[in-house]
Structure formats: C-alpha cells, structure tokens
Amino acid sequence: MTLRINTNLAAIRALKNLRATDQAQQTSLERLSTGLRINRASDDPSGLVISEQLRGQISGLKQASENTQNATNMIGTADAALQQVSDLLNDIRQSAIFALNTGASSPDQVAAEQASVDQAVAAINRIAQTTRFADGSLLNGTKGYQVTAQNAAIQNLDLRRVSFAPGATSRTFAANYTTAATRRTIAGIGASAGAATIRVTGALGSREISFAAATAAVDVQAAIDAVAQETGVFFSAAGTAASEGFGKDQFINIELLSGTIAGLAAGSNTGTAGVDGTLLIDGQTFTGKGNHFEIHSGNIDASLDIAAGTATGAIATFLTVANSGVEFQVNETASPTDRIALGIRDISASKLGFDIRVDVLTTAASGSSTNEGGFLSSLLTGGSNDLINNPGNALQIIDAAVSQVTGLRGFLGALQSFNLEPNLNNLEVSIENITAAESSIRDLDFAAETAEFTRTQVLFQAGVSVLGSANLIPQTVLTLLQ
C-alpha cells in the first residue's frame, strides 16, 4: 500500500465512474421526457437512418392515402352528374318513341315533345360545362385526352387511358389492320325457276316472301331488300345477301320453303361466316367483335370502330395524342406504377352519339342512299334529326348516347371499386405496419428505461459517497506526521 498526497488515484477513478453514471442518468432523463429511444444520431446511428427512412415513407403513404380519397371523391362527383345525364337521356328517348307513334300523335303533341327534348339537351350541356371538383371541370373534355391526329378509318373513338414517356408532349401509335372484318354472306342467289317461297331470317327478325314463276334474279334481290329493315338482311352486291353487322357472330338464314331459286338449296342456307377484324397496335394483336375493337395494352386503353370497307394494310399512323388526361398519385414514389392515368370524355350534346355512316338497310329498302348516325345536338329543333324530321335516326343516336354515358359510368365505377378503394385499404394497412416498425426502432420502452434510470440513480448516489470517501484518503498521511 502506498500513500500519496499530490495524486489521488482512488478519487480519479471514482470521479470517472461518477461522470459515466451522470451521463447515463442524463440520457435516461432525456429519453423519459421525450418518449424516444433515439434523440440524436449518437444514440443509435444505424437505427436513426432506418427510422428516418421509415418516417419519410409513412409521410408519403399518408399523402397518397389523402390523394386516393380525393380521387374517389372526384369520381363520385362525376358519377352523380352522369346519373342526371342518364335520366335526361331516358326522358329524351321516351319523347323519340312518342314521336314515332305517328298514328296516334298530333303535330302539336310532337312539337311539345320536341320542346322538352330541347330543354333536356340544354340541361345536358349545362351539366357538362358546370360539373366541377374544386376548380377543375370534369365533364366538358378538359380531363379527357386531346387527339391531335387520327386516321380517317377510325370511328367512334373513346380513349380511357394513355401513358406518356417522361417529358413527352404527345404519343403517336402506329397500327396495322391485319384482317378486315366481313359480313356473313350468302352468294350466288339468282332467279326462281317456278313459284317459290323463302323465309329470310336475320338479326332483326324473319319474313316469308313468295315469288311467281320465272322471277328474275334482280326481282328476287329487290324483294329481299324491301324487307331489309325487318330482317337485317340486304344485298351487298348482285347475287350476294349479307348481314347488316360484321363478324363471326352474325347470323342470316334464307330457307327455301318451296320451289326452286338458283343458288339456294332446299331447307336452310346460312352461307359463309363473317370474319372478325384484327388490329396490330402497340405491339399487340387485338381481335375485334366485327369491326369494333376494345384495346387494352400497357400504354393505351380505348374502344373504337374501323370504318366499313377499310382494306387490310390501309392504316399506318393510327393516332397521335397530346399529353393530357388525368393522373392520380396513389402511392409514395414517382414510379408510373404508383400513378393512375385516365381520361374522362366530353359528355356535351355535340359529343354524344356516333359518326355518320351509310344506313345499308334503309338504302336497300328505299333504293336511295341514306345515312344514319349523328350527335345529340342534331336533335334540337330544326336539326337534321329532330323529332319532326327524323325520329327514327334520333332514337339510334339516343341509344348510342345512353351506351356512352353508362359505359363511362361503368368505367369510373370499376376504377373506384376495384382500384382506388382497394388501394386506399392497402395504404392504411401499410401505414399501420410501417408505423409499428418505426416505433419499435425509435420509441422508448418506458418499463426498461425506468429500471435503467433507477439503477443510475443508485449508482450516482453511491458514486458521490465513494468519491467523498476517496477524498479522505490523503488525510491519513497526517497520522504519520504526528
């Protein structure tokens, strides 16, 4: 044992341990007062990095959840307005059917119905222009895709989604019409050798037709064409009867019930099946239903018709779309998979309906070229398809408009039910789980820390006492000097 006055090693050691105990006690006090295990980087460097990353992710997920909810609310607003448009279209359809009842309706009654149609069309236009979410219009085309170039063969285009490259101002799609859609046909129909009876059946119904002996082929054709609007069967060329529609699902049948007609066998004659068109676009081949196509690829969702008579290989530059439409940020990164893009079409009266085309059945029945189609705005008083001038075509336009509005509602409803709402539920689960992970890293276990604080308190008190004892050791030297 040695006794020193200038250097008290026992006191130095006691002071060192007391300082460590005091630091531990201060750390415990800080943690207990903040509720956090990590208050600064020195507390747990790697834990701090991970917890900050998780905090950023949680913040992004919370904002994505709010974005998704806003998107759901916006779509709900649009759907409510579209419900009103559907109701108005049903009222307009009722007026058109009334106008077709010429045997029991007077001109004054039709004029009154026309006035109601004018008001309903005006209401549809008003809904299209005034339906807004926040400060953005929803149904006037501003949230739809702006087509800057379109092949002349494309009809009744409805774009629902287009993706664009980062920074691109537009996107151009090339296409190839690889198989042209055709009608079901019965070829080689000629004259009757003697008296004959046939039954013509098509998509619209059946009619029996009787022929006198030696009826010329042109008269056989004229008789079948005369009932084309009742059967849906017409002559597309000399000797060739055809269905009105295109594709393999079309059906026609000319039954030879009695007698002999050139080109028709006894019993049923169903001819050659129609062909569904095929369209190569965006690297995928799509088979249509006749000449109608539903396009669903990684870069475009759309529906469209290819004009009758379009030859294979006739379509090259298909479509150019300006960078437009709507995007919803529904997750926490800038990845395209974390966004939902869509277009909401214009439902103004000038946009609801279908492109004008040849009415093959009316043309066949009347012998003069007649068109069908047009848009809802043409039903206004004085328009080419108002209830006085053309109620039959007006009804077709209304039916197309009803289909377009209900189709838009179905698309938005499916997006809401099967995309946005599940995404919202998934975000909430993710927020819960990631918050739990962040908490386990950063938050304080009060039970454990309270025990640690109690331990450091005892050690601090003991350290103070020991330091006091250590400071008394040099005083023992005085006993040697006595």
Q: State the DSSP H helix or E strand holding residue 310, giving kind and residue range, or none if neither.
A: none
The pLDDT value given to residue 236? 94
Which tokens belong to 23?
């630091």
DSSP state of 289: B
Lowest mean pLDDT among 265-274, 407-416, 461-470: 461-470
The pLDDT value given to residue 5? 76
Instruction: Answer yes or no: are the C-beta atoms of 194 and 282 closer than 8 Å.
Output: no
Mean pLDDT of the region 13-41: 85
Judge whether residue 243 has pLDDT over 80.
Answer: yes
More confident residue, 479 or 204: 204
Query: In terms of C-beta density within 10 A (0-12 exposed, 13-18 middle, 19 or more buried), how is residue 86 classed?
Result: middle
The pLDDT value given to residue 98? 95
Got the DSSP string for 32-85? Answer: HHH-BS-SSGGG-HHHHHHHHHHHHHHHHHHHHHHHHHHHHHHHHHHHHHHHHH
Q: State the DSSP H helix or E strand holding residue 356, giving kind and residue range, or none if neither.
A: strand 353-358
What's the CATH number for 36-144+328-359+372-443? 1.20.1330.10
On average, the pLDDT of the chain sits at: 92
Judge whether residue 435 has pLDDT over 70.
Answer: yes
Judge whether residue 474 has pLDDT over 90.
Answer: no
Mean pLDDT of the region 164-185: 93
Angle between helix 9-34 and helix 446-472 axes, rounded to 10 deg: 160
Q: How many Å apart are CA 256 and CA 240, to the nearest integer? A: 16
Give me the percent of the chain exceeding a pLDDT of 70: 99
> pTM for this one?
0.86
Judge whether residue 1 has pLDDT over 60.
Answer: no
C-alpha torsion 219→223→228→230, nearest 10: 180
Phi, psi angles (nearest 5°) of residue 15: -65, -40
C-alpha torsion 413→94→232→275, nearest 10: -10
- Which residues make up the CATH 1.20.1330.10 domain(s) of the chain? 36-144+328-359+372-443
Q: pLDDT, tens digit, for every residue of 88-127? A: 999 999 999 999 998 888 999 999 999 999 999 999 999 9
